A and B are shown apart, each in its own frame.
Chain A
């Protein structure tokens, strides 16, 4: 049936003002106590994850540095042979090394220097004249060992110099590579565990937020919002929280590492500083380290958004 409108008093025209949505205003409020607690949890987890990632990066860089310096050097060992002049053999080996491709410099350790190398094991003050102490020639290469023609040099030494052998430190390089790989693997596992812990915390926080925003969700449903829209709103809210927590945690980790680098640099002259430098190089994580921290922050934020979205979608599916 159709009805007629009753008479009503005229409206007072209100002054027109510029109406506008507040940009980026989320439909789900984010400034709750639970939200702030989640930011703190995410910040702590990101801090730990960023330290792990940059620590692994530091070890990887230090290991690459050690390997590179070891690999740029090879050693020729000349063992004294019966009825041969060891000095002539050393000179011959040095000549062969100098003529090899990819060699930058050759340094022959004198007999005295070779004997001094044994002092840590045999002690000083011993007369080693009667002992057949091997002589060493340190060959510095222009690049990595792989770029030099070591096979030819090895063959030439075997053929022309009795008692000479070439050590390209391959064993040490491989051991260092294995150790660095192990440290990086442990770092990745710790990182994965921290991310998993963050995902669990975010899942619980999302369920709590959804329960707290039940009225809002109901209104959104009644005004025609579908589950995808609501899940996106929660995702947006949690992405903000994740980014905030991630940036705080990542920033703190970057600050901590910068401070550690500055401390290591200022303590370089002390004996302790020397040890640290021997282990970790200059303790500078460099741009790649800061990039790793940035990647951790982005990863944490992405995990936060995805986990919250999926949690909300599952919860909404079970709601009427």
Chain B
């Protein structure tokens, strides 16, 4: 599904922030991406999301060499992914419901076809009472859950989550992890970037460990 071969990345003329990264993400797999702060977890996720281009090496996403795709293909690939940003990236002028429905709206789907699904998901992440509220009014944890719901609503083939439990209490963190696992059972490959050892210890999933600009895989 995603394959990195000897991928390196540097910003401008600076040193390589990622070096000789090689790994593969299988369909329907579940893995944590971990490492200390500043190790490059977010950068690696952005490479998978095609928001960054590697300075060397080969990145293949859904079987396509990302160095040769045009903008139309890029959009098609992104529609198969769900992303939870560390800083949520909710649109402040849209309600929680509108934010979660956004990936379906941009695909031109009729609202009637997804309204019930969005409401169910919002209830499932505990935002049933907050669906008409604008993000600035939400707490950090509520924003986090809204961002997760937005990433899940299209039932993507690949879910990328950057510190998805960083702003929630342990009980809610367990609940959100359960949500990711359920999604994984439905067939989505999941990559969760986190440095929360307690979270990773809850399930025995593969760990991709970033450190010293390189990646080690702990199966």
- Which A residues are closer than 8 A to B by beta carbons? 1-9, 11-17, 19-22, 25, 27, 29, 215-216, 218-227, 229, 317, 320
Contacts and interface: CB of A to CB of B under 8 A. Distances in A.
Nearest to A227: B71
A131 to B, nearest CB: 87
Contacts of B53: 320
A4 B181 CA distance: 7
Contacts of A7: 174
B203 A219 contact: no
Majority SS at the chain A contact face? loop
B184 A2 contact: yes
Interface residues of B, number: 56
Contacts of B105: 21, 27
Contacts of A21: 97-98, 101, 105, 111
What 10 A-B pairs have minimum CB-CB distances, sorted nearest first?
A14-B128, A225-B106, A224-B79, A5-B181, A223-B103, A8-B178, A226-B75, A29-B93, A3-B203, A8-B175
A19 B131 contact: yes
A11 B178 contact: no
Contacts of A220: 102, 106
A320 B47 CA distance: 13
A22 B95 contact: yes
Interface stretch (B1-9, B56-64, B117-125): B117-125
Contacts of A16: 119, 123, 128
A8 B154 CA distance: 23
B124 A6 contact: no
10 contacts: A1-B30, A2-B30, A3-B184, A11-B175, A17-B132, A27-B105, A220-B102, A222-B89, A224-B79, A226-B106
A22 B71 CA distance: 30
Contacts of B115: 19-20
B51 A11 contact: no
Interface string B155-192: 00000000000000001001101100110110000000
Contacts of B98: 21-22, 25
B150 A223 contact: yes
Interface of B: 28-30, 49, 51, 53, 71-72, 75, 78-79, 83, 89, 91, 93-95, 97-98, 101-103, 105-108, 111, 115, 118-119, 122-124, 126-129, 131-132, 150, 154, 171, 174-175, 177-178, 181-182, 184-185, 202-206, 219
B92 to A, nearest CB: 8
Contacts of B49: 222
A13 B123 contact: yes
Given A27-B105, A222-B89, 6 more contacts: A4-B203, A5-B177, A5-B182, A6-B181, A20-B115, A224-B103
Contact of A6 (B29, B129, B177): B177
A17 B106 contact: no
B124 A11 contact: yes
Contacts of B182: 5
B156 to A, nearest CB: 9
B178 A6 contact: yes
Contacts of A25: 94, 98
A20 B111 contact: yes
A4 B180 CA distance: 11
B80 to A, nearest CB: 9
A222 B51 contact: yes
Nearest to B106: A225
A226 B72 contact: yes
Contacts of A216: 91
Contacts of B28: 2
Contact of A229 (B71, B108, B154): B108
Nearest to A12: B126
Residue among B49, B71, B122, B184 with max Cβ neighbours from chain A (10 Å): B71
Contacts of B78: 221-224
B185 to A, nearest CB: 8
Contacts of B206: 1
Contacts of A222: 49, 51, 78, 83, 89
